[in-house]
Amino acid sequence: MTPWLNNLLFAIFPGTCVVCDASTHRKLDLCADCEQELPWLSHACSSCGIPLPKGNTVCGRCLFKPPPFTRCYSSFVYKYPIDRLILDFKENQKLFIGNLLTALLIKSFPVNFTPPDLLVPIPLHKSALKRRGFNQSREIAKILSDNWSIPMDSRNCKRTVKTIPQKSLHLKDRADNIRGAFAIEKPYQGERIAIIDDVVTTGATVAEFTRLILGNGAGSAEVICIARTSV
């Protein structure tokens, strides 16, 4: 679609805010007021990315036991309306919401951010992929890949074990549940890899995935997600 046609379509059919349903009058399905009121993650642990009070740089958990990844970057705290929007994106096949959230994620990166060498979305088990119809992490990674002009690899890593949903488990059981759930086909070649997910909660899934790719040739691993929970 040409730029002038794109502008004409937005003039005729203004965007509708996904939060308040008002016309946005901008090239975004989110009005300016609702965008400002979103739960932006303004201060986080420099290691695991969990929200922190201003003045703190590393959370107590990471001081005691740092995660295997170098950092976790997120644009939002996982609470209303971000939690509802992500649920709509994943479970109701509203891919346009995923596009919107990823655009906001890109917008939130600091000016001095250096994109990684390779993007690797967290894979879904084949049963979950069949039920949902798409991998939400892959959809996010595709947009990041296009925006940064860097490759995405969604084929090399597989989720080979159908695990119990992490959200249904106690925090201490999540690491055991996800252990050994992933497999890799070919080793990496020292790349700086960004693992892509929609939401990071305890970090058990991305930590397990990080250990796998670091043990198979990745030079370093970081995590990029839409939202981070506060616990």
**The residue to which tokens 């759930």 are assigned:** 181
CB 204 within 8 A of CB 166: yes
Number of neighbours of residue 48 by Cβ within 10 angstroms: 24
Of 172, 184, 174, whose CA–CA distance to 204 is shortest? 174
H or E segment at 73? Answer: strand 72-77
Confidence of residue 9 (pLDDT cuts 50, 70, 90): very low
* Least confident span in 74-83, 101-110, 175-184: 175-184
14 vs 180: which has the higher pLDDT: 180
CA distances from 40 to 11, 37, 149 (A): 29, 8, 26
Q: Token digits for 184?
A: 């890799």
72 vs 4: which has the higher pLDDT: 72
pLDDT(52) > 60: yes
Q: Token digits for 189?
A: 């070649």
* Least confident span in 88-97, 117-126, 164-173: 164-173
Q: Which domains, from first to last, does the chain contain?
A: 1-37 (no CATH), 42-228 (3.40.50)
Q: How many H-runs (helices) and E-runs (strands) does the chain carry?
A: 9, 6
CB 11 within 8 A of CB 24: no
125-158 tens-digit pLDDT? 999 999 999 999 999 999 999 999 999 999 999 9
**Mean pLDDT, to the nearest integer, of 183-202?**
96
Of 111, 72, 97, 120, whose CA–CA distance to 218 is shortest? 120
At 4 the pLDDT is 46
- Report strand pairing: 157-159 vs 118-121: unpaired
Of all residues in the chain, the percent with pLDDT exceeding 70 is 91
At 26 the pLDDT is 81
pLDDT(167) > 90: no
Of 147, 167, 174, 195, whose CA–CA distance to 87 is shortest? 167
Taking the CA atoms of the chain, what radius of gyration do you get in angstroms?
18
At 1 the pLDDT is 44
At 208 the pLDDT is 95
Distance from C-alpha of 18 to C-alpha of 55, rounded to nearest angstrom: 34
Q: What is the mean pLDDT of the chain?
A: 91
